[in-house]
Amino acid sequence: MESLNETPAVAIPFDNLPPPEQLPPPEELTPAKPSRWAGIGSAVRELIETLVLTVVIFLLIRFAVQNFRIEGFSMEPNFHDGQFILVNKIEYMLKMPERGDVVVLIPPTSANRDFIKRIIALPGDQVQVTDGKVYINGALLDEPYPLNPGSYSTGVMTIAPEEYYVLGDNRNNSSDSHAWGTVSVKKIVGKVWATYWPPQMIGFVPDYSYASK
């Protein structure tokens, strides 16, 4: 019977093991050196992301607020030729215009121009001007803001739904509803919110709460 030669097991004393610092070090991985083109690509990507973010922020601000330069004297003595204003374009997405609001609008007489006027009569109102005095539903409108009164008269007009009657504050020198009728709410660009030039005019446009008497 064939027998197998067995190699006797040899026990190595623990004290005879080499210390860890004498063991061969593991193979070190040398990190790849970044190329110059990779650095340039990263910088270009960051620049593009910054530009895109800037454009998005600009468009969002432009959607909400727009600046205009006043040309003419129809809103004297409250707004002046050459004055710069900021218009809130989202306010009327949340609520309807109110009497006394100063708005920028596109008049029915011209699709390529923007006018600045004050809302005088609301949908459903009856409005009439007699010797420059404004009557709403038969009662004299007490206008609390500075005003250059008009001298003209108009017949009684009932304001249709989603239409508004607007006048300039410089009544005898304003192309407005007394001349061309009402303006649709869809043609109101937004509410005049603030003025930012010239410096002495910087500030928010006041809101007036008043009712006809």
CA dihedral 77, 78, 82, 86 (to 10 degrees): -170
Max distance between CA atoms of the chain, in angstroms, equals: 139
Report d(CA 176, CA 117) in Å as an integer.
Answer: 7
Catalytic residue among 3, 110, 117, 186: 117
**Which residues are 184's β-sheet partners?**
163
Secondary structure (3-state) at 57: helix
117: annotated active-site residue: yes
Task: State yes or no: is 33 an active-site residue.
Answer: no
- Single-letter amino acid code for the residue at 12: I
Question: Are residues 183 and 166 in contact, defined by beta-carbon separation less than 8 angstroms?
Answer: yes
Catalytic one of 3, 33, 74, 153 = 74
Instruction: Report the candidate in 191, 164, 184 with the shortest Cα–Cα distance to residue 95.
Output: 191
Residue 205's CB: how many other CB atoms inside 10 A? 18
Would you tell me how many other CB atoms lie within 10 Å of the CB of residue 180? 13
Catalytic center residues: 74, 117
